[in-house]
Structure 1
């Protein structure tokens, strides 16, 4: 009996073990913890002034299973490696930005492609080096060009918090009148410009984009000036200039961009924004909702003393974006793909001004855009050409133009010798000839024409004062 018992027991145990072995998943060993950094993005100033220094930054993420305490960061612009060990604490899944301690500096006016690489993690090789590098590009500018900072503020008369944006723009225009340009982008009211809203894509109202690079910025009268103080120091690749005229509701803007970089692969565009100040209306859509009424939400530039719905006849709206010339993304083909140092690119925008707009309160803003990321590289408010007498000095008032009609040339008879700016426009307001600065001799200036027959306007200016004379060319 004992023998049979032992045999049965052995058979049972053997069957139990075999059954469990049959159903059990294969045993696998746990992989060893690894060091794996992923390079997320790199940053360097788009434009560097020749001889200046700037830092290179890299955003990295720990996608391995080890916590990270250090990385080796290398940059190479084709002239050699710049490897540095950087203390960087990243738990698994954590992301952070690091800065290379060796600054870049160049004296040659050229574009630079710089490869950024994480070469070691925790003093060891990265387990997946395929995602450890990227390339950033910068261009060296031959001279520093102060940048105009552009504020695009999302607003609407229905928005009770939007008085804060109006007060902020008034504040920055008072504190920095020459360093920034403000544009109010209306939504959901009679001043709406649908294409502008679609392009700006404000997440809320009031909203603010700065140079189309900083998105969703807080609209605060107390902090808006900080953006000007820092961003006006950013180098720009080109100096913008130009002028516009309005004749018979036709706005013509003749603009120019003078570049101070050398780059054979740019993706830049020009755009112009028509802006109107002192906009008023009597319809209910011009009434402003005001959550600052009564002062419960603090002072806000006087809106605390106004009712919760400010009547239309008490509201004046400034900086109103009225038209996008070239579209929100800029005019395709307005800038060549290759530019060189001191190259000047000219372009002309045209726009028919609606009769409801006050032409005397319009202005035109020229933008230089980077079409690759949509950012504004520089901007300027264009000068308006007076095709009528404007603040005439005694000398200018006594200018005589002859012969008239003229064929090949004409003369300007002046009251006194001096230097004058002379420009000719056609009847549409387009500049057809710019003589630049000319100097008189014996109180006379002789100028060639070389224009097709027709009527033109000759604008003569001196020291900010001008007069326009009719000219018939036969």
Structure 2
């Protein structure tokens, strides 16, 4: 089992232009169709400006840009053939040509985009690259070398709504140029954010920005600005212009000491020649090794509303995830435009999504995730190691004032520095209402299957589903630290194993049922915006709650050492190994008893809970 982790903080790099031959440069700062450019469309087409966002497609700031906004054009718009076309390009004197531009295309509501080329005046077009969906502006680089030596070359940016009321595509800073002969760029260090201690392999991606095919390159790394460098000469390559290559450096890094490291990696000597542009050669990342392996719990924040006809997809996703992954998934339903809306939470999440339903998983990369993809992203993240554990302690409930106070505790297992913050979210299950604004719009009615884990099919429900038939779970009632968390709740200098806590309070409205409410604690990394880890528990402390479910629960299961036994106040807990040996006894256990098997070997253990002459036996799997 992994015992140490690395905290990777990406540092951006730029692709500067030195000794390149410019063929076309356009930044759209004129605010209208540039001279020599053309556009074709069966609908609204392309527009130019610095704020072309719309209700369900928000474009991040990027000076003046060009955009085909199908959302703003309305449901009747035909945005399937929106072409923005460069002036004719004479490439007869060039042997290698590169296109580079900034792109924003989320792919929401069936939107697609492609870069295409025509050599017959636009009569026919050939796709040279389909554009991948991203959640922010991204610099894209494609080769046009297949058209070097030709005259009258048109490059078309094709936005396609595919017959739907889609979102759109925005572009900026178009640059077409002949590259220099030898130019290699270091793109990224791809080693997982947190890895086990010892000898760590550094993985990365490089790109050939030169005119010649890349056949060899030196990849070099150093630690903490030291003079000792480690070089790996990669040979036998065949990387074409603008092509990328993923590698694993042959020299590993020793990170057995719990501390932070500055890792610098760079490329040199493409094909044994001097690199013509050294500005794009280097990438750095901060890496921190950890002393323990906390349990990772994934957080999904779903955006929806009763008015939204496709939002049953989000309700089903949250229901299914809670059923299948109760111990390692926390679902949060952030409502928009209905009686359950929390304006702070709703307004903040809206900055990261392009429509409804939508959401984020751990806020990773600031990326938007459709609820239908929650499980896929969860599977990719559930085994990721995290540097911090989260707990919720000292819950106190005042039944008269209806105020609950509690501590969210974050414990890091490394010595590091940074801006990390605690946060707390209040959730409520079983929420319902009687007016029409509580009725759930349902576009799946009569024609599209949407089936939850219990076999309920929204195709069989009316549109809308009456309020009397709707009960909403996982509803976000309050986000106590705001979107980013509580400033100063974790110090900037962190010592390995030291817990940091913050006390929150919340007054439960009389319209809410405190017995159906939960507290979610989390730790947020302000550098990446990511939720590093979280924990969820019931809002009412044991002393204020009548326990109706006597069956004990173990979570997480499997565990890497520490797990909890729930619903057994006053019971005796025994832990046995598979050899029939009793290895632990806890008398008079509390309702949320923590069991630590960190010093035991991996395998299956038997947990016996003895309460009121009743014995319940369960298995726990220890994986280290």
Fold match (TM-score > 0.5): yes
Which deviations, in whole Å up to 9, do the C-alpha atoms of 1:164-185 show, x marking residues without a partner?
1111111111111101100111
Contiguous gaps of at least 5 residues in structure 1: 1-28, 398-416, 423-435, 438-461, 466-474
1:69-468 equivalent positions in 2, closer than 5 A: 69-77=215-223, 78=226, 80-85=229-234, 91-92=240-241, 94=242, 96=244, 98-102=246-250, 103-104=252-253, 106-200=255-349, 201-214=352-365, 215-220=367-372, 224-243=374-393, 244-247=395-398, 248-263=401-416, 265-294=417-446, 296-301=447-452, 302-383=457-538, 384-388=540-544, 390-391=546-547, 419=588
Change beyond 3 A, Cα 1:318–1:419: closer
Match of 1:57 among 191, 200, 204: 204
Report Cα offsets for 1:229-266 as digits up to 9, x if no partner: 33121111121112333322212121212221111x22
Question: Is contact 1:245-1:387 (8 Å) kept?
Answer: no
SS in structure 1 of the partner of residue 262 of structure 2: strand
- Structure number with larger C-alpha Rg: 1
Change in 2 beyond 3 A, CA 1:396/1:357: closer
Residue 73 of structure 1 contacts residue 86 of structure 1 at CA under 8 Å; is this kept in 2?
no
CA distance in structure 2 between the partners assigned to 1:463 and 1:256 by the alignment: 30
In 2, Cα distance between the equivalents of 1:86 and 1:163? 53
In structure 2, the residue matched to 1:472 is: none
After superposition, give the CA deviation of every residue in 1:303-345 in whole Å (9 maximum; x if it has no partner): 1110021111111111111111111101110001111221111
- Contact 2:403–2:508 (Cα < 8 Å) also in 1: yes
SS in 1 for 2:294: coil
1:22 corresponds in structure 2 to: none
The question of whether the paired residues in 2 share the 8 Å contact of 1:46 and 1:139 is answered with: no
CA contact (8 A) 2:221 2:230 kept: yes
Counterpart in the other structure of 2:84: none
Q: Which runs of 5+ in 2 are unaligned?
A: 1-93, 96-177, 551-567, 571-585, 596-608, 613-624
Q: How far off is 1:124 after superposition? A: 1.8
Identify the range of structure 1 (331-340 vs 104-113) with the bigger mean alpha-carbon deviation. Answer: 104-113
Say whether the 8 Å CA contact 2:411–2:497 is kept in structure 1: yes
Whole-angstrom CA distance in 2 between matches of 1:33 and 1:327:
49
In the aligned structure 2, how far is the partner of 1:88 from the partner of 1:291?
Answer: 52
Structure with bigger helix share is: 1
Q: Is the 8 Å Cα contact of residues 334 and 475 (structure 2) preserved in structure 1?
A: yes
Distance 2:383 2:318 in 1: 20
The superposition leaves residues 65-106 of structure 1 with CA deviations (integer Å, 9 ceiling, x where unpaired) of 4444443322222453142416665554x3646232435452
Output the CA distance in 1 between the equivalents of 2:302 and 2:277: 44
Structure 1 pair 32/224, CA: closer, same or farther in 2 (3 Å)?
closer
Shift of 1:128: 1.4
The answer to whether the 8 A contact 2:515-2:545 is kept is no
- Are the aligned partners of 2:184 and 2:268 in contact in 1 as well (CA < 8 Å)? no
Q: C-alpha separation between the residues in 1 aligned to 2:359 and 2:381?
A: 15
DSSP-derived class of the 1:195 partner:
helix
Instruction: For residue 279 of structure 2, give the secondary structure of its aligned residue in structure 1.
Output: helix
Distance in 1 (alpha carbons) for counterparts of 2:518 and 2:236:
52
Match of 1:414 in 2: none
> Judging changes above 3 Å, is the alpha-carbon distance between structure 1 residues 104 and 304 closer, same or farther for their aligned structure 2 residues?
farther
**Corresponding residue pairs, total:** 375
Contact 1:292 1:300 in 2 (8 A): no
Preserved CA contact (<8 Å) 2:408 2:424:
no
Distance 2:179 2:513 in 1: 73
Tell me if the contact between 1:267 and 1:337 (Cα under 8 Å) persists in the aligned partners.
Answer: yes
Q: Give the TM-score of the pair, scaled to structure 1.
A: 0.71
Distance between the aligned counterparts of 1:65 and 1:257, measured in 2?
51
**How far apart in 1 are the matches of 2:412 and 2:209?**
42
Residues 117 and 32 of structure 1: is their aligned pair in 2 closer, same or farther, counting only changes over 3 Å? closer
Would the alpha carbon gap of residues 237 and 88 (structure 1) be closer, same or farther in structure 2, given more than 3 Å must change?
Answer: same
Contact 1:44 1:55 (C-alpha < 8 Å) held by counterparts: yes
* C-alpha distance in structure 2 between counterparts of 1:165 and 1:84, whole Å: 49
CA distance in 1, matches of 2:229, 2:460: 65
CA offset at residue 191 of structure 1?
1.3
Q: How far apart, CA to CA, are the structure 1 residues paired with 2:245 and 2:258?
A: 29
CA–CA distance in structure 1, aligned partners of residues 347 and 201 of structure 2 = 35
Q: Tell me: CA distance 1:82–1:275, structure 2 relative to 1, closer, same or farther (3 Å).
A: farther
Q: State how far apart, in whole Å, the 2-side matches of 1:350 and 1:41 are.
A: 42
Is the CA contact 1:39–1:134 (under 8 Å) kept in the aligned structure 2? yes
